Amino acid sequence: MGLELYLDLLSQPCRSIYIFARTNNIPFEFKHVELFKGPSNSEGDGKISLLKKVPVLKDGDFTLAECTAILLYLSRKYNTPDHWYPSDIKKRAQVDEYLSWHHANIRANAPKTMWIKVLIPLFTGQPQPSEKLQEVMEGLSTSLKQFEERFLQDKAFIIGSEISLADLVAIVELMQPVGVGCDIFEDRPRLMEWRRRVEEAVGKELFFQAHEMILNIKELSNIQIDPQLKEHLAPVLMKMLK
């Protein structure tokens, strides 16, 4: 059995793995998982039921979850170019530093824009007050300021002149607000130039292919949500915003 990647490209972590694998010509079988449609619409559903989420990697009889773990596994197994996760101990530490900071900052705010504008109305039938979105955008703005001043500074990429896993994890997260009409790159020229460089580094065609679903997120309102999933997720999403 070859490498299998179970991914839903609406998910930011899944997009980072998809882009990384394609950019580095890693051979894999793409198992498309449509989480919002329920298990009957997912390829190989039984194989990932234990973990109940994506992304998931299966390499023969070996199964691995969690985005960072999968990215590092792929980089090591397929000996990808050093700039992704540098052998230089200080540069590698900078990648690790960003990945640690990312979860409590960018990732803590950016996804909520989609929850407020798309997912909560879809799962509950109730639109969210504009104050909620404003609160989230203020938190995200603080994180973006820190991102530019602490990590990006005047460099081309987060750790220097070449793209790394840190840039990839960051950009897929920041495309989530863009997909729901919150253009966080507007009026941020340094951030916009960084995005352009990331797109060019991975290839614009691949970048927009990976983000096609999130950039057309309004079409999600037309799908049939699995009733059990809807019943389970509605209160969870509401609780996450409190």
What are the E-state strand segments in the chain? Answer: 3-7, 29-32, 56-59, 62-65
Least reliable range by pLDDT among 53-57, 91-95, 148-152: 53-57
pLDDT tens across 18-27, in order? Answer: 999 999 999 9
Q: What is the pTM of this model?
A: 0.90
The amino acid at residue 59 is: D
Q: Specify the length of the chain in residues.
A: 242
- Residue ranges of domains in the chain, CATH in brackets: 3-83 (3.40.30.10), 85-241 (1.20.1050.10)
Interior angle at CA 37, CA 34 and CA 42, nearest 5: 45
At residue 237, the 3 state secondary structure works out as helix
pLDDT tens across 177-201, in order? Answer: 999 999 999 999 999 999 999 999 9
Q: What is the mean pLDDT of the chain?
A: 88
Q: How does residue 15 score in pLDDT terms, banded at 50, 70 and 90?
A: very high
The closest of 226, 231, 241, 234 to 121, measured between CA atoms, is: 234
CA distance 37 to 148: 37
CA distance 7 to 34: 8
